[in-house]
A and B are shown apart, each in its own frame.
Chain A
Amino acid sequence: MGRLSWRLAEVAEVRPETERVATLALEVPGWDGHLPGQHLDVRLTAEDGYTAERAYSIASAPDERRVELAVERLDDGEVSPYLTEELRQGDQLELRGPVGGYFVWEPGRGGPLLLVAGGSGVVPLMAMLRHRAATGSQVPARLLYSSRSLDDVIFREELERLAAAGDGLTVTHALTRAQPPGWTGYARRIDAAMLEEVGWRPGERPLAYVCGPTRLVEAVAGQLVALGHDPARVRTERFGPTGVP
């Protein structure tokens, strides 16, 4: 495999997802495709040559023409405020990738799938679900997704549409801080009881992908193993203020 070289992408669209998260749709000439779950590196360069690099998970499926990132703005961040607030359609962005070959899923890897996300950790899992839908895969999949509030749920309407397609996907939300009136869903952090109710039984040998803040990832991965799931079928990726993977 040759060197991953830096290339210039053009911003085709900046689409707000939530108050803090925006999707960047990029035209990337010569992009060779990626696996759902992979990330890429972004490099920003100031006029005096100062650079800052960060990694971002790819949200789009390889089947789509554009490469999409969904970036959460971190108030004390150096790169994410630029990407979510300054960058606009027609701007150029330097990137290289795709990177990462473990936290990836394609239909051929089978299932059933248990996807567990916290906050913006849903981004690489969304690439998997979009690819699953685009390829017509019938691999049964369950997404358990923890957000602070309903307004913080990224890809909310698209997830509803995907779950309504009747192709074996269920989406379950846990809202940890605020719930809308009449909310009957989970109103607490993901815990072992929730994983037992929503997830597959260990005997069904699910393939689990867990992505989110460290505390969530550490807790969920530990709980899955304690419930009897094979550690070798639990893949984790930390996602948050200090980068991926």
Chain B
Amino acid sequence: MGGFVSRGFKGRRRPAAGQAKLPPGQYAEPGFPVLTAGPTPRIDLADWRFRIEGLVAKPREWTWEEIHDLPPSSFEGDIHCVTRWSKLATSFAGVSVDTLLDAVEPRPEASHVVAFCYGGYSTNLPLDDVRGGKAWVVWEHEGAPLPPEHGGPARLLVPHLYFWKSAKWVAGLRLLDHDAPGFWESLGYHNRGDPWREERYWGD
């Protein structure tokens, strides 16, 4: 479709510096939109657990207190939603997924993870996309407790992929030796979701 021009469309140019930080097809959004497929689950912190299971030597569960006792880790940077907004220079705090995986000792054959959630949502990722300093379980956003509509008490944070991979209300990770498409990945959205390659939908 090269060469097509929308008659009369001028567009709103952004400062070059901001533009350079945006993946293709994205725009900078000052707010923090809420996108969810169903009701926001309300989770009592006393009942909250985070569990890692599947192909690990030592499956285990953390309570809210226990996970807070782990070494803290934070992220500062940009997030990108497949619906085209990006939020630049934001921050989250929690624990690195590396810390959690170290505790459970993934088996060598583990190649993928499924993040499962309160409320039934799930998303799949290659194991390499959640280790090596690339993923967190977070409960703070810009210095305040993560609100329920944004995934609180805690959500997965995988900022180098489209934000549907950063599963809200995360309850755990299941390590597998194969890929297993999650909720949106079964409904037309890309299996990996790299915003810099604009992997939005099946076949992108």
Contact = CB atoms under 8 A, between A and B. Distances in A.
Given A82-B8, A238-B35, A242-B33, A3 B40 contact: no
A1 B203 CA distance: 7
Contacts of B31: 242
A63 interface: no
A53 B186 CA distance: 24
A102 B187 contact: yes
Interface residues of A, number: 48
Interface stretch (A93-101, A107-115, A170-178, A192-200): A93-101
A117 interface: no
Contacts of B201: 3-4, 99
A85 to B, nearest CB: 10
Contacts of A234: 38-39
B6 A93 contact: yes
A101 B187 contact: yes
A64 interface: no
Interface string A211-227: 00010011001101100
A124 to B, nearest CB: 13
A44 B187 contact: no
A235 B119 CA distance: 12
Interface string A5-43: 011100000000000000000000000000000000000
Contacts of A133: none
Contacts of B188: 1, 99-101
B36 interface: yes
A200 B111 CA distance: 46
B35 A45 contact: no
B11 A236 contact: no
A164 interface: no
A49 B42 CA distance: 46
A245 interface: yes
10 contacts: A8-B4, A46-B10, A94-B1, A101-B188, A102-B187, A221-B40, A225-B39, A231-B41, A242-B31, A245-B35
Nearest first, the 10 A-B pairs at minimum CB distance are: A3-B203, A101-B187, A221-B39, A242-B33, A44-B6, A243-B83, A214-B34, A44-B9, A78-B12, A46-B11
Interface of A: 1-4, 6-8, 44-47, 50-55, 78, 82, 86-87, 91-94, 99-103, 214, 217-218, 221-222, 224-225, 231-232, 234-238, 242-245
Given A46-B9, A55-B84, A234-B38, 11 more contacts: A3-B201, A4-B202, A44-B11, A46-B6, A46-B11, A52-B9, A52-B27, A100-B187, A101-B186, A218-B149, A242-B33
